[in-house]
Structure 1
Amino acid sequence: MFYPKPIILTLLASAASICLTSAAPPPPPPAVPAKLDPAEYISVPINRCDTPNRKCHKLNTAIVTEGSTNVTAAGFVTIPGYLFDLNSWKYYLLHLKIRMLSVDVNLGGVKCGRNAAFYTSQMKKEATLGTGYCDAHTDATGTCNEMDILEGNAATKAYSAHPYADTENGYCSHQGCNVNTNRDQNKFVGPGLYIDTTKTFTLVSAFTTHDKSDKGDLVGVQQWMLQDGKALAQTLITDDYCLNIETWNLNYTKSGGLEELGRSFDIGHVLVFSFWGDQNSIEYGNNMSWLDQGVANNAKCNQTAGESGPSYSNIRIEFIKDIKVLRLRRSNLPQTADSSHQTAPSLSFDDHIIDGLHHPRHSQEETALVFGGWGGGS
C-alpha cells in the first residue's frame, strides 16, 4: 500500500474570464532523463487493451509526487502524483479518443470537505519528473487542458471537461462543464444507495468522436458507475449540454469546447492522482461545498465520518468498439420516498457485466494504490 505524506499544491481558481498566458513554461528536460530513487515513486501498472491485436498488456508505469511537507493550519492539503514510464523515465501520455478508461475506486473513507481527484492534464512529456504541472486553474504554473475523470468523496462524485484555448487571449474553462451526482442523481449515489459509495465501484469513462475514429473531433464524454452487476449511466457531456449551463460557465464556448479538449488528447495527457481539502479556501468556496454542498445542506455528509484517503486499482484502457454497451438494459431501481422526482438513468447488465470490463481483479501480490493518512486539518 502507498501512504505518501500530504504535500501542498496551491490551486488558483480565478473568477476572471481570461487565463494568464505569461506563465513560466515547464523547465527544459535534462539531456538524459533523471532516474528516481525507488523511494520517490510507486509502481502503478496500467492495463492497455487498445492495441491493434486487442490483446491486453501491462505498462511499466509508476507515479511520482512533487515532494512532501506538512499540512497547513487551514487544512489545505493535496497529494498529487503523476503517471510516468519506467522505461523512458518520462511522463506517460494518454490518448483517449474512441477509448474507455476504467478504474476501481473506493471512496468510503473520504468525508465531505475532501476531494479525491483522478484526472488528466496536458502536461509536457519531457518535463522533469515531479515538475511541469498544469491544469485549467493554475495560472501560476501554466494553464492547460484538463479532464476531471473523478472529483468526489463518499457523498458525491463529479466529472468535468475543462478545455483551454491556447490563443492570444488564453481563454480557459475554470469552472468546467460538469456532471455531479449530488445535483443530478442524489437519490442513487451515496452511502447505502443504489451505487453504494462506501464500497468499491468501477468507474468507466468513454470518449467519443464524430466519425468514430481517433482522428475525429471529440463530441461526447460519458461515464458509468458499475457495482455488483449494476450500472448507473451518468449524463452525457456534449457541447449542447454545456451550452445549456452556460449561465454559470461563461468561458466554456470561448475555450473551444470538446473539440479543443479533443485536440489536446491528440497531443496527450498525463494521468494525475490527487487528494485534498479546502477548509478555508476562498477560491473554491466553503469547505468543498461546491462539490458536496457541505454538512449543513447534504444529509449524506453526516454519514461519512471517515478520515482516510481513496484507493484506486485495476486501471484499464480499451477501444470503445470492443465494449458491447448495447447489452445494457434498463433496470428496476430501488424506490425511495421521493425518487419519483428524478429520472432513473440507470442501466444494469443482461450478461452479468459489460463484456471487456469483467476483467480479473489484482492478484494477491499486487496492491491497490491507496492515498491515506490525512495528517491534519478537519
Structure 2
Amino acid sequence: MFPYIALVSFSFLSVVLAQQVGTLTAETHPQLTQRSVVLDGNWRWLHSTSGSNNCYTGNTWDTSLCPDPATCSRNCALDGADYSGTYGITSSGNALTLKFVTHGPYSTNIGSRVYLLADDSHYQTFNLKNKEFTFDVDVSQLPCGLNGALYFSQMDADGGTGRFPNNKAGAKYGTGYCDSQCPHDIKFINGEANVQGWQPSPNDSNAGKGQYGSCCAEMDIWEANSVASAYTPHPCTVTTPTRCQGNDCGDGDNRYGGVCDKDGCDFNSFRMGDKNFLGPGKTVNTNSKFTVVTQFLTSDNTASGTLSEIRRLYVQNGRVIQNSKVNIPGMAATLDSITESFCSTQKTVFGDTNSFASKGGLRAMGNAFDKGMVLVLSIWDDHEAKMLWLDSNYPLDKSASAPGVARGTCATTSGEPKDVESQSPNAQVIFSNIKYGDIGSTYNN
C-alpha cells in the first residue's frame, strides 16, 4: 500500500506548484523564553492566492478553487495568524497559555495546536532516551471533556519541505502534522490538499475527513484536565510521517490492522486503581500548578540503548511525589511505571488488544526518538468519544466495575462538545518552565 501511495505523491510533483504561503496577515511566532511556537496549519486561514476568497469555510472546501488536490494546492495559500486575537494563544516569559474558545474579529475559534520551533523554519526535535522532560502545568481551569495535552510527534523537522518540495509553507506555518491516530482531518498531507473524498463532520462545524490520513509515532507525555491524566507511548511500524489510506490507517473495524498503535500503553492513575492520587484536593492537587517529570530509561543507561521504562513523578509545593502504584487484581502492586511487562499484563487483565506489542512496543518508541520528535502543545474537546476514554467510564458497553473501564470521576454524559464549548468557553491550560536534560537534573529532589 505505502509504496503505491508514495508513487502517487511523487507523481504530483510536476503539476502541483506549491502548498503556498499568503501575505495578508503577518506571521509572528509567540516567544517562549529562547524559543518560539507556531500554530498548526490546519487552524490557519486558507484563501485564494489571487485574493482573499476562502478556500475552506467551516467544514467544506470551495470546489471551484479546490476541485482536486493539484488545483487546490496551486490556488490556495496558508496565511499568517493573529495568535492572541483569533486563537487565544499568548506567551509571557516561559509560560504559554492556550485558551479554549476565542471570539475573534471574523470567527469563533475552538482549541488550538502549536509546535515548538528551533528557528523560523524548523521545529525543535528531541531524543528523550536516557533523558527526562519536565514542565509546570496549571489545569485548574480544565473541566471534564477537555484535554490540555503536551506530547511528541515524529514529524519532519522542516514540516515536510525537504521530502515534498511542493510544500512551500513548512514549519514556519505549522505544516506536516501526524500522529498515531492517523488523522483524516488534516487539510494538507505531503504538501497536497486532502480534498479527495472529503466529508464534512456531522457533529463538528469546523472539521471534516478526507480520503487520506497522516500517521506517525506519538509519545503522549501529558493528556489531562483537572480530573484525570494519562501518559501513553504509541509506536508505529512506519518510521517517518506517512500518508495512509483505508486499512493502513486502521480505519473503522480495522483499528488494530493499521500501521500505528492507536490505543497505546497508558498509565492513568485512576484507571490503574488509585482514585485519590490526582485531582482537585488530591495528592497531586489540580487546583494549583505543579511540576510533571517524565524519565525515559534505557537498557544500558545510555542514549543509544533500547528504551526500557518510562517513569513519572511530580513536584508540588516543594514536595517530590512519586507516581501512584497499581491497585488492580491480577497486577503486581509494585508497578508504577510503563515497561513491557506492565503493558503486557495490563492488556491481559483489562481484556484489551495488545497492539502496543505488535507495533514494536518500547523499542519502536525509542527508535522514533532516535530520529527526533517534535514537541506539540494543544487544547481540545472530543467530537468522537467526548473524552470519556480519559476522564470517565469507557467503553460504555462495559460495566464500570470491570478492570480498566473507570478512568476518572466525570459522568458518562459529560464531554459533549456543544455543552463544553457553551458552558466552559473560558477554559484554558498554562504550560511553563519546560526543561530537558539528564535524569535527575531538571527538578529539585
Q: TM-score range by the shorter chain?
A: 0.5 to 0.7
Residue matched to 2:432: 313
Per the TM alignment, residue 124 of structure 1 is displaced from its structure 2 partner at its CA by 0.4
Shift of 1:102: 0.4
The match for 1:228 is 317
Q: Distance in 2 between matches of 1:60 and 1:139?
A: 28
What amino acid is aligned across from residue 30 of structure 2 in structure 1? I
1:134-187 CA distance string (max 9 Å, x none)? 010025342111000000100011100101112898632101000112223321
Per-residue Cα deviation, 1:52-94 (whole angstroms, up to 9, x for no partner): xxxxxxx43433332347988xx995411111122x5211111
Q: CA deviation at 1:209?
A: 0.5
With a CA cutoff of 8 Å and minimum separation of 6, indicate the structure with the bigger relative contact order.
Answer: 1
Does structure 2 conserve the Cα–Cα contact (< 8 Å) formed by 1:173 and 1:249? no
The corresponding residue for 1:260 is 364
Distance 1:81 1:112 in 2: 22
* Structure 1 segment 63-82 matched on structure 2, within 5 A: 63-66=38-41, 67-68=43-44, 77-82=110-115
Find the aligned partners of 2:219 and 2:231 in 1 and give their Cα distance.
Answer: 8
Alignment partners' CA distance in 2, 1:91 and 1:142: 18
Say whether 1:121 aligns with 2:209. Answer: no
Q: Per the alignment, in what secondary structure is the counterpart of residue 30 of structure 2?
A: strand
Q: Which amino acid aligns with 1:191?
A: P
The 1:255/1:299 distance shift into structure 2, 3 A limit, reads closer
Residue 218 of structure 1: aligned partner: 307
For residues 35 and 212 of structure 1, what CA distance do their matches in structure 2 show? 47
* 1:358 Cα offset (Å): 3.8
Q: 1:20, 1:139 within 8 Å by CA — same for their partners in 2?
A: no
What SS does structure 2 have at the residue aligned with 1:134?
coil
* Matching residue's letter, 1:133: Y
Q: Cα gap change, 1:269/1:299 in structure 2, threshold over 3 Å: closer, same or farther?
A: closer
Q: RMSD value over aligned CA atoms?
A: 3.7
Q: Give the whole-Å Cα distance in 2 for the aligned partners of 1:21 and 1:204.
A: 42
239-248 or 94-103: bigger deviation: 239-248
Letter of the 2:352 counterpart: W
Q: TM-score, normalised by structure 2?
A: 0.57
1:238 counterpart (310, 334, 339): 339
Q: Secondary structure at the match of 2:369?
A: helix
Q: Which residue of 2 aligns with 1:329?
A: none
Alpha-carbon distance change, 218 to 20 in structure 1, aligned in 2, over 3 angstroms:
farther
Question: Following TM superposition, by how much is the alpha carbon of 1:103 offset from its aligned partner in structure 2, in angstroms?
Answer: 0.4
| Structure-2 residue corresponding to 1:4 | none
CA distance in 2, matches of 1:238, 1:299: 26
Say if 2:163 is the partner of 1:163: no
Distance in 1 (alpha carbons) for counterparts of 2:230 and 2:436 = 20
Shift of 1:319: 0.6
Structure of greater Rg: 2
Show the counterpart of 1:85: 118
8 Å Cα contact 2:392/2:410 also seen in 1: no
The whole-number CA distance in structure 2 between the counterparts of 1:222 and 1:258 is: 13
Matched, 1:149 2:204: no
The letter for the 1-side match of 2:428 is G
Aligned to 1:42: 30
Q: Deviation at 1:312?
A: 0.4
Partner residue, 2:140? 108
State the partner residue of 1:357.
Answer: 443
Give the 3 Å change call, closer, same or farther, for CA 319–107 of structure 1 in structure 2.
same
Count of aligned pairs? 285
Q: Helix, strand or coil: the match of 1:154? A: coil
Q: Is the 8 A contact 1:205 1:224 kept in 2?
A: yes
Bigger share in helix? 2
Partners of 1:40 and 1:65 within 8 A in 2: no
The offset of 1:35, in angstroms, is 12
Letter in 2 for 1:276: W
Q: How does 1:318-357 map to 2 (within 5 A)?
A: 318-320=437-439, 322-323=440-441, 356-357=442-443
Would you say the 8 A contact 1:135–1:142 is kept in 2? yes
Whichever residue aligns with residue 309 of structure 1, its letter is: Q
1:113 to partner: Cα distance:
0.5
Matched-pair contact (CA < 8 Å) for 2:237–2:260: yes
Alignment partner, residue 93 of structure 2: none
Paired with 2:112 and 2:393, the residues of 1 have a C-alpha distance of 22
Amino acid aligned to 1:181: S
Q: Unaligned stretches of 5+ in structure 1? A: 1-17, 46-58, 324-355, 360-378
Q: CA deviation at 1:300?
A: 6.3
Counterpart secondary structure, 1:182: coil
- Residues 164/261 of structure 1: CA separation in 2 closer, same or farther (3 Å cut): same
Counterpart contact for 1:20–1:143, Cα < 8 Å: no
Query: Match for 1:179: what amino acid?
Result: F
- Render the CA deviation track for 1:80-132: whole Å, top value 9, x for unaligned: 1111122x521111111111100000000000011111000000012212110
Read off the aligned partner of 1:132 and give its amino acid letter. Answer: G
Match of 2:175, as an amino acid?
T
Unmatched tracts of structure 2, length 5 or more: 46-56, 60-100, 102-108, 160-169, 185-212, 240-247, 249-256, 324-335, 395-399, 401-405, 415-419
TM-score (norm 1): 0.66
> Equivalent residue for 2:182?
138
Which residue identity is paired with 1:117? Answer: A
Identify if the C-alpha distance between structure 1 residues 276 and 25 changes in structure 2 by more than 3 Å, giving closer, same or farther: farther
What is the SS of the residue equivalent to 2:390?
helix
1:273 matches 2:377? yes
The amino acid that maps onto 1:250 is N
Q: Which amino acid aligns with 1:272?
A: V
User: Per the alignment, do residues 187 and 143 of structure 1 end up closer, same or farther by CA in structure 2, a change over 3 Å counting?
Assistant: same
Specify whether residues 22 and 199 from structure 1 end up closer, same or farther in structure 2 by C-alpha distance, changes over 3 A only. farther
Distance 1:109 1:294, change over 3 A: farther
Is residue 29–residue 36 contact of structure 2 (8 Å, CA) maintained in 1? no
Is the aligned partner of 1:288 residue 2:387?
Answer: yes
Structure 1 pair 193–38 and aligned structure 2 pair: CA distance change class (3 A): farther
How far apart are 1:20 and its partner, in Å?
Answer: 12
Identical columns (%): 29
- SS of residue in 2 equivalent to 1:180: coil
